[in-house]
Amino acid sequence: MSNDTAVYQRQGFGSGLTVAPPYGLLLVDFVCGFLDPDRFGGGNIPDAMKSSVALLGEARRKKWPVAHSRIVFADDDGDANVFAMKVPGLLTLKEEDPNSAIVPELAPAPGELVVRKTVPSAFFATSLAPWLTQRGVRTLLVAGCVTSGCVRASVVDAMSLGFRPLVLRDCVGDRAIGPHEANLFDIEQKYASVMTRDEALSLIDRSISV
């Protein structure tokens, strides 16, 4: 155990969450621009996307509610905000821009929610929370990119709204590994359970606590 982990444990962080049905899946910003290292991608994002293909298939097989998010700004930049001030290139992500399109491997199916957003969290000022609540979701599995940005913001909001976030370590990615690992550590200590895709699916099938 590292000294950092010991400090967190001594102070009472890192308690487990009990997974509880019904389950839902949130895929955060798996769009073409975030798979392109020359735009917003890089790091382990392609690996996270590949791992999420089987995850999405399993969620559909189990008939879970599935939601996707993508960043979409108005064609006239009328909704430009502070997020875009910090990352001006985000304003290129328009409704018809291919870089804002969800990757074909994870394309939404009929009945799945697609959330359009202009801030990191998929929950802020969107219909995601009521949509999940209407479907009775208690435990929300989270995949997507990037771990240190939109994934983290969405996880914090999910927890704040009363959902139990379960972040899938091999299904989230970041353009740099340092922020990815640091944020997974922090997320696990404060906001969510963190495990691999296969660990999570096995756990859910066995219906035991984490």
Catalytic residues: 150
Q: What is the dihedral of CA 36, 39, 122, 195, to 10 degrees?
A: 40
Q: Of the candidates 12, 113, 14, which has an alpha carbon nearest to the alpha carbon of residue 69?
A: 113
Distance CA 140, CA 65 (A): 10
Which DSSP string corresponds to 86-97?
HSGGGGG-BTT-
Q: Of the candidates 19, 117, 16, which has an alpha carbon nearest to the alpha carbon of residue 67?
A: 117
Distance CA 35, CA 33 (A): 5
